[in-house]
Chain A
Amino acid sequence: MNNWLSSVKVLFGQQPPRIDPADYSTEVQIIHQKKRAEKITAEMLQAAEQAHMAKGQHHKWRNRRWLVLIVANVLFVLSWQLDIQMLEGALTASRFIGFHMADLNSALQVMLAFKQVLINLLIGTVTVFVLWWLLGGRTFCSWVCPYHLLAEGAEKIHLYLVAKKWIVNHEFHRGTRTVLYGVFVLLALLTGYTVFEIINPVGILSRAMIYGGGLALLWVLFLLLFEIFYSRRAWCRYICPVGLTYGLVGTLSPLRVKYHVQDCHHEGQCRKVCLVPHVLECVKKGRAHQTEVALGADCTRCGLCIDVCPTGSLRFEIKGLNKLL
């Protein structure tokens, strides 16, 4: 329960809390003690990295994820263009072989603005809630959201420019997203318009792919340019209420990434590639309070950290399944 609460607080923008070493499990204390004694040299790190690259699995999850993301979005497009009617509608609301689905944040905006809930919308909302609760909440972001894919491209350019020292990254307070979430909830409630939807790149991109683009794409382009030249992954990190909605759904999700401290070299590769590095606070040397730590709700389950980890210390895990097997 305490873990859950702390995970939500971090999701809302709080700095990851430091756990009192007195509360560490005895097993992990022994591991930390051993790690303090042994020295990891640059050669060891290099060897581990080489062995990891030799395995050829360093893009495994990314490639799977991109495939799923593209297939999901192409399915929307083809359902209409080729009239195969598998996934009708757009990401904001759709029908999957006839079953209603509704994006949770879009549905929330509509419910608040309209103040009535039609049964179809409720069915769609509950279906999608259960789906993403099972799959991990923000899994939606990295495995389905088309903006996420574009932003990953923008991020690559951004990191290149930063490495060249042509630009610097500007960080904002992560609590901005929480405040904006509240503001957009209030605006929908008070104005009766689904105010957020006008700047929602998820809906804009999804509709543009299916029904054809328009001026709205300029807004998405602006966001990407902002992320390239000013602030790394700014939309997903500091603004997007869709991500926060799914993050909340995923707080109690059985599917998560789990950190195993035993073999970790603490070289920090995972934190460098992560969209939300605050969920990886536990990988810092001496910070894991147990031998295994599940990452917090803000984690998008994108698997980049798993791909990059040279020691296999980060893995996908389905809670309860390990006990069952």
Chain B
Amino acid sequence: MKKTLSRPQQARRQFLHSVILGSTVVGGALLGFIPVQHAKAQPKLRPPGALAEDDFLASCIKCGQCVQVCPVQAIRLDDIQHGFSLGTPYLNARAQACDFSCDAVQCVLACPTGSLSHKVDKKEQVSMGFARLVDEARCLAVQGQGFKGVARSGDYQGLLRYQDKDRWQPFPVKDYPYDLPLCDLCVRQCPIEGAISLQPLEQSTGDKKRPVVHDKCVGCGVCEMICPQQPAVIVIEPRATGGQA
């Protein structure tokens, strides 16, 4: 059968096959659109200084240099099921928040393309997201309860820089016990001054207080990481569409 094909026929067949090959490759690559459209409803927590999501995805060269400089390894790289987000950095704050152990924005300095904007050079300028109390009733402070023990237990891998423990070396959260008359972990460990405070409940009798997040919050996720309740009572809402930094 094949031997009977003339040269022009062969050429035509090869051309057709090449068109199919090319279309498949381009079509396959374009599938990357679908997950990024879906992701718009649920934005990811991007590293400090990340541009608005569209610009971020356009400019990230997917090298992971930000991953390498982070002393607490808060930054991970996305996988292919997230489409064009493949290879771009994100954080899972509950697993490992950005605690500015690096003394601020090493990831930004490492970024070769400006995907993490070099306009950000202090931790206070960062705007990754915003913390929100999502389940007030379960908050220990709202219940007026203290906290004794480690914030996260078991095989929890997360690290935090405890200034009193070691100025330079991040320390495992699961090995740092607390003994607090009223739980204020989210306020106590927040790396940004004035980003969160405990305020008395309106009709409160006694010690019940509520964590209130202020405008200064940068969305680093330390509060979400350190919250001893499971799941966390306070979580980061990643900046929806972003804006500079």
Interface on A for B, CB 8 Å cutoff?
Answer: 79-80, 88-90, 92-95, 100, 102-103, 106-107, 110, 113-116, 118, 120-121, 124, 170-173, 175-176, 179-180, 183-184, 187, 191-199, 203-204, 207, 210-211, 214-216, 218-219, 234, 238-239
Q: Which residues of B contact A211 (CB under 8 A)?
A: 64, 67, 77
Contact of A110 among B30, B64, B67, B113 (CB under 8 A): B113
Q: A95-B65, A107-B61 are in contact. Are A216 and B26 (CB under 8 A)?
A: no
Number of contacting residues on B, CB 8 A?
42
Chain A contact residues: over half helix, strand or loop, or mixed? helix
Q: Are B14 and A215 in contact (CB under 8 A)?
A: no
Q: Are B61 and A93 in contact (CB under 8 A)?
A: yes
Q: Are A207 and B54 in contact (CB under 8 A)?
A: no
Q: A193-B36, A196-B29 are in contact. Are A110 and B86 (CB under 8 A)?
A: no
Contact of B22 among A115, A124, A180 (CB under 8 A): A180
Question: Would you give the shortest CB distance from A192 to chain B, in whole angstroms?
Answer: 5
Q: Are A198 and B22 in contact (CB under 8 A)?
A: no
Contact with A along B17-53 (1 / 0, CB 8 A): 1100110011011111100100000000000000000
Q: Are B84 and A194 in contact (CB under 8 A)?
A: yes
- Give A116 to B114 CA distance when docked, in angstroms: 9
Contact of B113 among A93, A210, A219 (CB under 8 A): A93
Q: Are B112 and A93 in contact (CB under 8 A)?
A: yes
Q: Which residue of A lies closest to B55 (CB)?
A: A114
Q: Are A195 and B84 in contact (CB under 8 A)?
A: yes
Q: Which residues of A contact B67 (CB under 8 A)?
A: 211
Q: Which residues of A contact B112 (CB under 8 A)?
A: 89, 93, 95, 100, 102, 118, 120-121, 124
Q: Are A116 and B62 in contact (CB under 8 A)?
A: no
Q: Are B65 and A113 in contact (CB under 8 A)?
A: no
Q: Which residues of B contact A170 (CB under 8 A)?
A: 17
